[in-house]
Structures are given as C-alpha cells and as structure tokens.
C-alpha cells in the first residue's frame, strides 16, 4: 500500500490535474439525479447531521434542473424517510438510537423535507423516497431511466462518501456514463469528501466542474 502525508484534498487535486486521465464523457441524453437534498443534510442551522461544502450547491442544482427541464430531460429527487418504528431502515438503523439517528428521520418530519431553497417541479419531476444509500435500491429509478432512454446520469447531493458514492457505483454498474459535478456534492468533513471524489474520479465517474455540465447542456439545445 502506498503511503502519503498529503491531505485528501491535495491527492484529489493531483489526480484531477493529471492530463493523462481519460474521461467516460457525456452520452446522448442525460437524467439529473439529486440525491437527498433534504433538511436533515442541508440545514446546518437546524440539524447536527447537516453539512455544507460549497455555499452555492443548491443554487447550482436549481440551475441544472432548469436546464434539464428545458431540454425535456428527466429530473429526479430522492430523500430518505422511515416508518415511526424505524424498522424499514433495517440493520442500518441499529447502531445508534438518538434523535439524530438515521432511522429517526420520520415520514412527515422536518428532517425528511426537501430544502426550501430548492426549485422542485412536483408535477413534472420524479420524487422518490429511498431507505438505503443508493438511489437505485428499491426505487423506480431504473424503470424511469429506461423509459426516458438516457445513457448518462448527472448526480448531485450528499453525502459524497455515502449516498453519492453508492448511487454513482450503481450507475456505472448499470452501464450509465456517470457525471458528478464537484460543486454540487457535500459531506461532513473534507477528508471524506475529497477521498471519495478521488475514488469516484479514478474508478466510477467523471468528476467535473459544474460549468462543464452547464456548457454541455447548453450545447444540446442548439
């Protein structure tokens, strides 16, 4: 195993700057998958479980969603919520049982709500409740993507080390070109955030500047 005194951020920046690194690239048609941008994870003023990496994250997500809708391409939002008993969290909900614990994000609770800053089209966008890390696990997402005949997924949200990573791995495993706009993901600590961006970039996805995605989408409408 290679060892290093460099920080996770420094390693990520080195990998990102490597001119020899090849990309999967964009395909013909994409879907936007916004993973768990809910108050439990976005409202740092309300909940200890929340985090912020780029202060413009939700603004960028809204901008992406607007561009996707203008193209007639699918926009998907996921959030986690559980029964009062928490039993649908399964073994994932057994390690702790505090008010901040995962399984205590209840249906109808403030923690389960999408952030108020998000511009969600509740009639036209797809909204799924999920209970495990990946947006694919036991949700209708795969069928939705097949219906829309997409070959590329743009994934935003949090956390980078948890549900973003799980969704990106599942995305690649299902044959999708997988794009993670760096400024649109967040995590609790920069070490987890940048270590997982590095791993995604090396193996599973193209981690790119959000402007690169804006520019590609703009070109699809011409």
The reply to whether 7 falls in a domain is no
The reply to whether 17 falls in a domain is no
Place of tokens 């520019």: 215
In this structure, what are the phi and psi dihedrals at residue 150, rounded to the nearest 5 degrees? -90, 155
Give me the chain's average pLDDT, please.
97
Task: Give the Cα separation of 172 and 176 in Å (integer).
Answer: 5
The reply to whether 83 falls in a domain is yes
DSSP code for 192: H
The reply to whether 9 falls in a domain is no
Q: How many domains does the chain have?
A: 1
CATH at residue 215: 3.40.50.850
Q: What is the pLDDT of residue 222?
A: 62
Residues ≥6 apart with Cβ < 8 Å to 149: 29
**Strand blocks (E) in 2-151:** 30-35, 75-80, 126-130
Residue 163 a catalytic site member: yes
Q: Which domain holds residue 164?
A: 24-220
E strand or H helix at 180: strand 177-181
- pLDDT band for position 117 (50/70/90)? very high
Q: Note the pTM of the prediction, 2 decimals.
A: 0.97
What 3-state DSSP class applies to 124?
coil
In this structure, what are the phi and psi dihedrals at residue 84, rounded to the nearest 5 degrees? -55, -35
The reply to whether 3 falls in a domain is no
In this structure, what are the phi and psi dihedrals at residue 114, rounded to the nearest 5 degrees? -65, 150
Query: Which of the residues 61, 163, 169, 200 is marked catalytic?
Result: 163
pLDDT tens readout for residues 135-166: 999 999 999 999 999 999 999 999 999 999 99
The reply to whether 45 falls in a domain is yes
């Amino acid at each position: 195993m290679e060892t290093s005194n460099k920080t996770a951020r420094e390693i990520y920046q080195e990998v990102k700057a490597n001119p020899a690194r090849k990309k999967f690239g964009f395909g013909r048609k994409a879907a936007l998958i916004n993973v768990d941008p809910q108050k439990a994870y976005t409202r740092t003023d309300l909940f200890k479980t929340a985090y912020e990496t780029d202060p413009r994250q939700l603004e960028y997500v809204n901008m992406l969603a607007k561009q996707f809708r203008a193209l007639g391409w699918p926009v998907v939002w996921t959030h986690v919520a559980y029964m009062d008993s928490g039993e649908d969290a399964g073994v994932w909900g057994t390690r702790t049982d505090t008010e901040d614990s995962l399984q205590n994000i209840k249906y109808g609770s403030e923690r389960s709500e999408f952030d108020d800053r998000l511009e969600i089209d509740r009639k036209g966008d797809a909204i799924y409740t999920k209970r495990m890390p990946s947006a694919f696990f036991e949700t209708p997402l795969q069928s939705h993507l097949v219906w829309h005949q997409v070959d590329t997924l743009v994934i935003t949200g949090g956390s980078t080390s948890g549900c973003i990573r799980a969704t990106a791995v599942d995305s690649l495993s299902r044959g999708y070109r997988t794009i993670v706009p760096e400024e649109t993901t967040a995590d609790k600590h920069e070490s987890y955030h940048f270590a997982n961006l590095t791993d995604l970039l090396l193996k599973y996805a193209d981690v790119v500047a959000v402007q690169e995605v804006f520019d590609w989408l703009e070109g699809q409408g011409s």
